[in-house]
Amino acid sequence: MITRKWLAAGVCALLAALSVGLSPTTAAAGEPTAKEPPKVELVLDVSGSMRATDIDGTSRMAAAKQAFNEVIDAVPDEVLLGIRTLGATYPGDDRQLGCKDTKQLYPVGKLDRTEAKTAVATLAPTGWTPIGPALLGAAADLDGGNGTRRIVLITDGEDTCAPLDPCEVARDIAAKGIHLVVDTLGLVPDAKTRDQLTCIAEATGGTYTSVQHTNELSGRVRQLVDRAADPVVTPVATQGAAACQAAPLLAPGLYSDREAFGEHRWYRVAVRPGQELRASVSIAADRAVNNDYGVLLRATTVHGREIVRGSEAGTGRTDVISTGLRYPKGPVDDEEEEGRTGSDGKPAAETVCLQVSNSFSAPAGVKTTPGMPVELTVDLVDGPDRSSDAAAFGLGRGWWFLAALVLAGLLAGLVWGWISRWRISVWRTN
């Protein structure tokens, strides 16, 4: 006798079979090989000036230790982390010895969180500030392999070991072409410290952040470690123009620039028929700014007609503010295609002008040069197939899944009805 349980099981099996048969499968062959794990080394200033108590009522050293503990707890499992110190061991006045005072506190590798925290807990503000030698040591610690490599330098002062200029050290590291990025964080920095740390970061494609509070320090370091785990392409330096006609023509990629407070900068992108332009911009507030600010990204024609825009506004302290836009350019009609092809025989591209504007302002006494860091992402993808009825209704490439569900439901209903009629006929016969 066929029971309801058997009937339900049969229908479920049918639905499962239909789903498996209609769903796309991923072949095991040809899968990309595993990438090398990213490596990050945190370089911490433990010089005597870290005793100053001007971060949330505690010493700079205490704030750094708290931030390190929070960061160590949150480090992604795939990241190989190391810790290096500078100025941690030599308390004397011998410059030659003080400028060699950098050592690896925790080796780059799989993280033992308890061991790493214990090592940081033993630190006490001691000596000099040999930033240049510490960068050289950190670069050696991260040497080898093709994975992402990142140095995060946390210091409260400029290097005290000239003539080894840490900015020149950073340029030498960048010139080696090993894709090692140095991000810098200044604890309550003065103008000289800010300039030096900005130079170090810019030389390697990294970022500089001014830190006034403990939560800002821990939050920013966590962001940078996470960025190493999910790396982005190293930005290409560019320089926007004051007008579209003189703007650089950008291919798909990630670009870096600097923009003054309240400035407008222009860039150009060539978009072919059938393509969709996707652009986004981020502006980093790398110094104190006034409340109430915003960023605007506009796409216009070369004649100034606005096509689409994206904007974002905020208030209070921020590290980064971002916005983006999308512009799908429709295909060229057959009647229009003649005379609109480029030298390569493809439909001629439209020049789209991208305007990046900001409404940041600075409090009195804050240095406004150089401009704030800008990251601009440009991507061109195939636009939606407008000839497809399914795409026109917003189903895109997922139309087959809906069709599979409809077909599965129809077949299940037919099978259920047939089985029900068969049961009734068997019951009447008996």
Quick check: is 242 in a domain?
A: yes
Q: Quick check: 199 and 167 in contact, CB under 8 A?
A: yes
Say which amino acid occupies 425. Answer: S
Two tokens at 114?
């308890």
**What is the layout of strands, in order, in the sheet containing 102-109?**
102-109, 80-86, 39-45, 149-155, 180-187, 208-211
Same domain, 175 and 254: no
Q: What is the CATH number of the domain that holds 261?
A: 2.60.120.380
Same domain, 201 and 315: no
The Cα 265–Cα 247 span in angstroms is 8
pLDDT for 30 equals 44
Q: Quick check: 284 and 320 in contact, CB under 8 A?
A: yes
Q: What is the CATH number of the domain that holds 96?
A: 3.40.50.410
pLDDT for 156 equals 92
Q: Are strands 293-300 and 350-358 parallel, antiparallel or unpaired?
A: antiparallel
> Is the bond preceding residue 163 a cis peptide, omega within 30 degrees?
yes
The Cα 155–Cα 299 span in angstroms is 40
Q: Residues with Cβ < 8 Å from 272, sequence gap 6 or more?
A: 329, 346, 347, 348, 349, 350, 380
Per-residue pLDDT of the chain (430 residues; tens, 9 = 90+): 444 444 444 444 444 444 444 444 444 444 445 578 899 999 999 999 999 998 989 999 999 999 999 999 999 989 999 999 999 999 898 988 999 999 999 999 999 999 999 999 999 999 899 999 999 999 999 998 878 899 999 999 889 887 889 999 998 888 776 778 999 999 988 888 888 998 898 888 788 888 888 888 988 898 888 888 876 566 788 999 999 999 999 999 889 999 999 999 999 999 999 889 999 998 888 788 888 899 999 999 999 999 999 998 888 766 678 888 999 987 765 444 444 555 556 678 999 999 999 999 988 888 888 888 899 999 998 765 544 433 333 344 455 556 677 777 777 777 777 777 776 676 666 6
Two tokens at 376?
């601009």
Q: What angle do CA 225, 226, 231 make, to 5 degrees?
A: 100
Can you give the residue range of the structural domain that contains 195? 39-229
Same domain, 167 and 192: yes
pLDDT for 25 equals 42
Same domain, 241 and 217: no
In sequence order, what are the beta bridge partners of 256? 237, 375
pLDDT for 69 equals 92
- Listed residues 208, 229, 250: the one ending a domain: 229
Q: Does residue 381 sit in helix, strand or coil? A: strand
The Cα 191–Cα 367 span in angstroms is 8
The Cα 11–Cα 5 span in angstroms is 10
Two tokens at 32?
């990309």
Q: Residues with Cβ < 8 Å from 241, sequence gap 6 or more?
A: 247, 248, 265, 266, 267
Same domain, 251 and 220: no
Q: Quick check: 324 and 310 in contact, CB under 8 A?
A: yes
Say which amino acid occupies 410. Answer: L
Same domain, 84 and 216: yes
* Residue located via tokens 């009805």: 417
Same domain, 274 and 370: yes
> How many helices (H) and strands (E) are present in the chain, helices listed first?
11, 15
The pTM for the full model equals: 0.53
pLDDT for 355 equals 97
pLDDT for 430 equals 61
DSSP state letter for 34: P
The Cα 199–Cα 14 span in angstroms is 65
Give the number of domains in the chain: 2
pLDDT for 429 equals 67
SS3 content of the chain, % helix, strand, coil (to 5): 35, 30, 35
The Cα 264–Cα 355 span in angstroms is 7
Quick check: is 425 in a domain?
A: no
The Cα 428–Cα 422 span in angstroms is 10
Q: What angle do CA 104, 215, 358 make, to 5 degrees?
A: 110
pLDDT for 176 equals 79
Residue of 427, 287, 415, 377 whose CA lies nearest to 13: 415
Same domain, 98 and 133: yes
The Cα 10–Cα 423 span in angstroms is 15
